[in-house]
Amino acid sequence: MKYLVTGATGFLGRRLVAKLLARANSTVYVLIRRASADKMDDLRIRLDADESRLIPVWGDITKDGVIDRAAVERLSGEIDHVFHLAAVYDMDMSDATADLFNVKGTANVLALAGALANANKTKPRFHHMSSVAVAGADHVGRFSDEMFDVGQRLTHPYYRTKFQAEAVVREHARVPWRIYRPGMVVGDSQTGQIDKIDGPYYFFPAIKALRDRLPKWLPLLGIEGGQMPIAPVDYVIDATVHIAHKREGNGKAYLLIQDNPPTAGEMTKIFVRAAHGPDVIHNLPSQQWSGALETQIKQIGALLPAADWLAKRAAQSLGVPLAILGYINNRAVFDDVNTRAALAGSSISCPPLSEYAETLWRYWEMHLDCDVDVSASLVRRASGRVVVITGGSSGIGFATAKKLAAAGATVCLVARNPDKLEEARSIIATIGTAYAYSCDLSDIAAIDACTDAILAEHHHVDILINNAGHSIRRAVFESLNRFHDYERTMQLNYFGALRMIFNFLPTMAKRRTGHILNVSSIGVLTNAPRFSAYVASKSALDAFSRCLSPEVASRNIDLTAVYMPLVRTPMIAPTKLYDYVPALTPEQAADMIANAIVDRPKSVASPLGTFAQVSYAMWPRFNDFVLHKAFHMFPSSKVARTKSGPAENSEKLNVPARLLAAILPGPYW
């Protein structure tokens, strides 16, 4: 099969081309402007495609004819399928831009498809990527893929031109055609990959702020809103390619959406849960207004002075285009009857959002949420320094690495998983300078090889952050036959960190400067029950560092212990108990480490940690009494319990336990 694809370098286009190239004996011609030749090179490298199978066709969809006559003659009768994906999707675009690319561009590519037909061969099949936007923003009731012109209002340039582009295909095609109407396209359901902020992603910063500022146990109210026709990009492409190659189906449109799409309120609830924020326990019914919210706001705003400026300022403050806000109350109920019939018998189906929302959230948080607040004092302290961070591929380590890279440091990430490590490095490299060193920190030989590689490449290390660690929540009487838990915890948390210090200390001493930060735990100060293995390993590192500190003081080497409270990362999410315990975000934890780098204190602790330390020194029996009560209020981890033990829902705390968790935030009960 031979294919001609427009918009091949876009988010959908790249995936479509990859899918087409995966088919046996396929050749893909990419229609692209000469000014975008570098994008063609990037596409070929990204897909690792042979030049004989991925071929550029230079042209411009906004120009009559699109490609030159020689190219038309060369491709005439050769193309089996034309996929038209090129379009402008921008909710703030002008009418002129929308008309040029979305309407005229479609007409020009459709005419090209007709010109490529050959009397001696089958005409190429034309596949047009449309959108559910053809239904408009205020259609009420059922809208199926068998429906098109039902008198809907189309006031926004995007909605209007997607409708008009479909009309061009339906009315003027001289070749067989099929139309695909994806809904709100989100990232890949397996990887979360997405190119830009769009659709529900506009609301992710607000969800993050809500998660970071409100306790997890606090119930929330939401607004129900209308149905959100959502679909992950992998489903959209898989369904498109499958339907495109079916023998029957010409002259039809196909909605590409989730079955029974969630309402705006349900979608918000799913994403808040994916972010590990408070639960939305109830969605209030929203007022059913007529027309798009954006249109109403513009009509009212037109009566005010500087209306356009005010509208833009409002959108900027919210971080959401007004057209997106208007769609929250969508009243169309989409029915993909044609798509269901076309996919019957295949293994292709659209997964429900609840199954992959956390994947989308994690990708956004790692790759797209890259605003980093860096103080001038941190820049002065970290700029030009070589910093090693263990456990740097996620959580606290990753957040700290982003901050230090933004401050101008050369960041060396150390972690066990090579794939996650490289992903983290590539993200941080967009902010500053980052290197990745895969290492199992429980293996002394691996640590030696890792530190040798770092010193060979960078010659010295200015700041070492021992952040990697392993924690076990299990009472001693539940551990009597699990001595290995103590051995492996000590191996990683103490001996692994110790070996890193030993290997970097000589160059620090030779250069007469250095800073070693050990990320410890508030549990060391509070003597948290059920954490004897973890607290003992962290306490051992504390004791070593206190002994080392006077030995290296004359060499200008500082040691800092950071007694970290509980931090809300994906690692603790499965433990429902922690939903009721106040916790820091990774960014807040990174701020603690950044401040320690600036000030170089002997230790950093929360007020509670400091109080607990003083309290234990003065009133040890009172501390034991409080912790004894807490020990019986808070259960062991689910893994630590026997099969006949309490069920998972036993981790839902009663009122006294919630009160104690609020008064004493941070200890790992």
Give the tokens for residue 495: 């001996």
pLDDT higher than 80, residue 83: yes
Asked whether the beta carbons of 161 and 107 are under 8 A apart, the reply is: no
Q: Dihedral of CA 383/384/389/395: which sign? A: positive
Closest C-alpha to 106, from 27, 183, 171: 171
Q: Please give the Cα distance from 56 to 62 (Å, whole number).
A: 17
Among 89, 235, 363, 534, the active-site one is 534
Give the tokens for residue 508: 């620090």
Query: Measured at the alpha carbon of residue 443, what is the angle toward residues 501 and 512, in degrees to the nearest 5?
Result: 15
SS3 394: coil
Q: Please give the Cα distance from 54 to 48 (Å, whole number).
A: 10
Q: For position 281, what pLDDT does the model report?
A: 67
Q: Which is more confident, 137 or 621?
A: 137
Which of 123-137, 264-278, 567-581, 648-662 shows the lowest mean pLDDT across its residues? Answer: 648-662
Give the tokens for residue 617: 């020194």
pLDDT higher than 90, residue 294: no
Q: Give burial (CB, 10 Å; 0-12/13-18/19+) of 373.
A: exposed
Q: Please give the Cα distance from 441 to 468 (Å, whole number).
A: 8
Q: Please give the Cα distance from 445 to 360 (Å, whole number).
A: 37
Query: Measured at the alpha carbon of residue 319, what is the angle toward residues 314 and 320, in degrees to the nearest 5?
Result: 85
pLDDT higher than 50, residue 434: yes
Asked whether the beta carbons of 526 and 614 are under 8 A apart, the reply is: no
Respond yes or no: is residue 534 known to be catalytic.
Answer: yes
Closest C-alpha to 592, from 544, 520, 668, 497: 520
Q: Please give the Cα distance from 298 to 444 (Å, whole number).
A: 66
Residues 6+ apart with CB under 8 A from 401: 389, 392, 411, 413, 424, 428, 434
Instruction: Please provide residue 488's backbone torsions phi and psi, each rounded to the nearest 5 degrees.
Output: -75, -30
3-state helix, strand, coil in the chain (%, to 5): 50, 15, 35
The DSSP bridge partners found for residue 31 are 6, 57
Asked whether the beta carbons of 523 and 616 are under 8 A apart, the reply is: no
Could you give all domains of the chain from N- to C-terminal order, each with its CATH number? 1-182 (3.40.50.720), 382-663 (3.40.50.720)
Over residues 33-38, the mean pLDDT reads 94
Q: Give burial (CB, 10 Å; 0-12/13-18/19+) of 215.
A: middle
Q: For position 616, what pLDDT does the model report?
A: 65
Closest C-alpha to 106, from 32, 166, 158, 154: 166
Q: For position 295, what pLDDT does the model report?
A: 54
SS3 668: coil
Over residues 371-400, the mean pLDDT reads 93
Over residues 392-412, the mean pLDDT reads 94
pLDDT higher than 80, residue 298: no
Over residues 235-241, the mean pLDDT reads 97
Q: Please give the Cα distance from 385 to 464 (Å, whole number).
A: 11
Dihedral, 522, 527, 528, 534 alpha carbons, nearest 10: 80
Q: Give the start-end residues of each E strand in 59-140.
A: 81-84, 125-129
The residue written with tokens 């007004």 in the block is: 322
Instruction: Report CA-CA distances (Å) from 141 to 25, 335, 546.
Output: 45, 10, 70
pLDDT per residue as tens digits for the range 361-376? 989 988 888 778 889 9
SS3 77: coil
SS3 129: strand
pLDDT band at 620 (very low <50, low <70, confident <90, very high): confident
pLDDT higher than 70, residue 645: no
Q: What secondary structure does DSSP assign to 89-105, as a single string?
A: --TT--HHHHIIIIIIH
SS3 557: strand
Q: Please give the Cα distance from 194 to 618 (Å, whole number).
A: 55
Give the tokens for residue 180: 């695909």
Tell me the Cα Rg of the chain: 29
Give the tokens for residue 589: 């934890």
Give the tokens for residue 613: 């330390």
Q: Please give the Cα distance from 578 to 585 (Å, whole number).
A: 13
Closest C-alpha to 236, from 175, 176, 194, 173: 194
pLDDT higher than 70, residue 634: no
Q: Please give the Cα distance from 472 to 482 (Å, whole number).
A: 11
Q: Please give the Cα distance from 22 to 16 (Å, whole number).
A: 10
pLDDT band at 471 (very low <50, low <70, confident <90, very high): confident
Over residues 23-41, the mean pLDDT reads 94
Q: How many CB atoms neighbour CB 512 within 10 A? A: 11
Q: For position 57, what pLDDT does the model report?
A: 96
Q: For position 74, what pLDDT does the model report?
A: 93
